[in-house]
Amino acid sequence: MYDAIEDPYCYPGTAVLRNVPEITDQAALAAFEAVATAQRAEEPLPEGSLDAAHYRAIHRHLFQDVYPWAGELRTVRIDKDGSAFCYPEHIPAMLGGLFERLEQEDFSQDLDVETFASKAARFLSDLNAIHPFREGNGRAQNVFLHLVASQAGHPFDFGNLDAKAFLDAMVLSFYGDTAPLEKQILMLVQ
């Protein structure tokens, strides 16, 4: 027999994440979250130096109306479809190392689009595997990568986004195959 551990991010006895408006219905929360984050995404984003603190500030900005822990690193273990993300006790070190690599590789160099897409796919894959937040990782990742791409001279056109293909590519990248994600990033570059 296994011990059942309540998720402190959820309302007791439910899988609904604790939230600012205290919505206890999952469908209603999802609808509220979609509207609230879309509105925040239209606002000016926090400025920063494309580091871990900047990434956390972007998550806080996007989700501030939804979750009281927006921008805070998660403290529980999570997985999706049986694949575990980075354990919370390792998130600070892994996130720090990833953003140190981003700074060292200097994506703002004059990179051709293929090299940029390759580096961006590897970065995004690693960031997704860390999954530092309890919820909202994908949206924060996309916004952050858009900033990186813009600074590198390869701004994204999200009108070219095929959400299902992008998600499928993200899943494959989790298992080490970043080629489909590179292809998806190339499709987004204007």
Global pTM exceeds 0.75: yes
Question: pLDDT digits over 108-155, tens only?
Answer: 678 999 999 999 999 999 999 999 999 999 999 999 999 999 999 999
To the nearest 10°, report the CA torsion of 33, 95, 184, 173: -110
Task: Please say whether the dihedral angle defined by the alpha carbons of residues 104, 106, 111 and 115, taken in this order, is positive or negative.
Answer: positive
> Once rounded to an integer, what is the mean pLDDT over residues 170-177?
96
The CATH number linked to 146 is 1.10.3290.10
For residue 165, the model assigns a pLDDT of 97
Residue 14, domain member (yes or no): no
Residue 172, domain member (yes or no): yes
For residue 106, the model assigns a pLDDT of 80
Residue 5, domain member (yes or no): no
Residue 114, domain member (yes or no): yes
Total tally of structural domains belonging to the chain: 1
**Where in the sequence is the domain holding 144, given as residue range(s)?**
26-188
Tokens linked to 167: 């998600």
CA dist 75 and 8 (Å) reads 9
Distances (CA, A) of 26 to 15, 30, 38, 52, 74: 8, 6, 18, 30, 20
Residue 17, domain member (yes or no): no
Residue 7, domain member (yes or no): no
CA dist 129 and 97 (Å) reads 13
> Once rounded to an integer, what is the mean pLDDT over residues 7-16?
95
Residue 19 clears pLDDT 50, i.e. is over it: yes
Question: pLDDT digits over 31-65, tens only?
Answer: 999 999 999 999 999 999 999 999 999 999 999 99
Tokens linked to 88: 């919370």
Residue 77, domain member (yes or no): yes
For residue 5, the model assigns a pLDDT of 61
Residue 18, domain member (yes or no): no
